[in-house]
Amino acid sequence: MTPDSRLRPQGALAAFCTLWILLLFPLLAPAQLLAPAAAGGDLSVALITIGPGEEVWERFGHNAILISDRAGHSERLYNYGMFDFAQENFFLNFARGRMLYRIATSDPVEDFAMYAAEGRWIVRQELNFTPAQRTRLREFLEWNSRKENAQYRYEYFTANCSTRVRDALDAVLGGAIRAQTIAPSRGFTYRMDTLRLMRPETLLMLGMDAGLGPFADQRLTYWDESFVPMEFMRHLREVRVIDASGNSVPLVASETRLAEARLAEPPDFPPRWIWQALAIGVALALLLLGLQRARSKAAARVALSMLASIIMLVCGLGGLVLLGLWTLTEHVSAWRNENLLLLNPLCLLLLPCWLGAWRSTWQPSTFARGSALAVAAFACLALFIKVFPAFIQDNALWIALLLPVHLALVFAVGQRRDASSVR
C-alpha cells in the first residue's frame, strides 16, 4: 500500500466532518446564544415579607428577595437594610444622618426559623419573571452582594430594606412596578405610617412625631408608600407584567403564608390625640395660673418655680435638638420643622427667671418679660401660619399642647410685674 492510498480515507473522513460542522453551525450557534436565558428556567424569584417584631428597628417589618435554583438545589435570601452596632462611628453617623447599611445573603431556612420564633408572620409571594429576568436579577444581586458593592447610604423613607428590594425588582421588570404604582394613593403620609407602626412605643412615637418636619407630610403614592414592607407586599398584588409569551399576567403568581404571627398587628391608622393634647395643655395652663395667684404660699411658689422651669428646660433643649437636626445633619425628614416655634431654644433664656420664682420677692426683669413675650408670639405664629397652604406640617397635637402653656407663662410673668408695680 502506497502512502497516498493510506491517507486518502482519512482525508475523506475529515472533509465529511468539516462539511457537517458547516451545515450544523447555523443551528448550533443560536442554541449557544440562548443558553444563558434558558438557564433562568431553573430559577424562581419570590418576595419574602416579614411582619413587625418587638424590637424598635423591627416595628416596620422587613422585605427580602428569595432566589431558588432547582438545578443547583440551593436557595439564597438577599436582605437589604442590614446594620451593625459595632461598625466604626455607627452612632455618630446615625446622629448625623449618614448611616451606611448593606445587603447580605443568608440561608432562608435559618432566617425563617428565627422570624417564626420571634412571633412574626412570614409571607412568600412567587413572582412571574421570565427566565431572562430571573437570570438578570440573580446576577445583579450577586454583584450587589460583593464586599465592595454591599454598602449603601440608608434613609428611613427612601432607601431602606423595602425600597431597595422594590427598586431591584422594578429595574429588572423595566419599570413595570413604578409605572403602575406612581399615581394611585390612599392619602397616607410618611408621618401617618410611622406613627401607626410605632404606636406600641408611645414615648418614641411622640418623639419621632415632634422631630419630623414637613417632608413627612407629603401625600404618598403607592410607590412611595412601599417604604413599608407590608404595604409593598399589598401593592404588588395589583401589578401586572408581560410574560415570556407576550401575555399580561399578575406579577404575583401565588402567595403562601409560611408562619403566623403571635404579635398584635399594628393599627390601620395613626392615633389622633389632638383633643387629649388640648385638654392637657389647658390643664397645665390653668395650673400655672393658679399657682401664680397663690404665690402668697411658699408651697405654691416652689411648685410654680419647679413646673415652669421644667417646661422651659424641656422646650429649650427640645428646640436645640430640632435646630441641630435641621442645620447639622442630613436627616432631610427633620428639616424646616415648624415645632421650633413651640419647642423654642429661647425658652432657655427664661430658666434663670423661673428658677428664682420661688422667692417671695421675685421680680421678673424686663429681659425676662421680653423673652417670654417672644416665646408666646412664636407659639401663636405656629398656629397662624396654618392658614397658608405652603405650611403642610401636621403638628396640630403640639400646638394644642404647648400654645396654652406658653400663653399662661407670659401672662404669669406680666401679672407678677403688674402686681409689683401696684404695690
Same structural domain, 130 and 252: yes
CA distance 287 to 90: 44
Provide the pLDDT confidence category of residue 150 given band limits of 50, 70 and 90: very high
Q: What is the pLDDT of residues 191-223, one digit of tens each?
A: 999 999 999 999 999 999 999 999 999 999 999
Report which of 312, 243, 230 is spatially closest to residue 63, judged by C-alpha positions: 230
3 state SS for 169-227: HHHHCCCHHHHHHCCCCCCCEHHHHHHHHCCCCHHHHHHHHHHCCHHHHCECCHHHHCC
How many domains, in total, are found in the chain? 2
Provide the pLDDT confidence category of residue 17 given band limits of 50, 70 and 90: very low
Tell me 388's DSSP state: S
Residue 330: its pLDDT value, please?
A: 93
Same structural domain, 251 and 278: no
Residue 3: its pLDDT value, please?
A: 40
Provide the pLDDT confidence category of residue 95 given band limits of 50, 70 and 90: confident
22 Cβ neighbours under 8 A, 6+ residues apart: none
Residue 73: its pLDDT value, please?
A: 87
Q: Which pTM was predicted?
A: 0.86
Same structural domain, 91 and 227: yes
- For residue 39, is pLDDT > 70? no
* Mean predicted confidence (pLDDT) in 384-389: 95
Same structural domain, 204 and 336: no
* Per-residue cell: 207: 418623639
Provide the pLDDT confidence category of residue 416 given band limits of 50, 70 and 90: low
For 311, the domain range is 274-422
Same structural domain, 219 and 117: yes
Same structural domain, 252 and 280: no
Report which of 132, 200, 182, 160 is spatially closest to residue 64, judged by C-alpha positions: 160
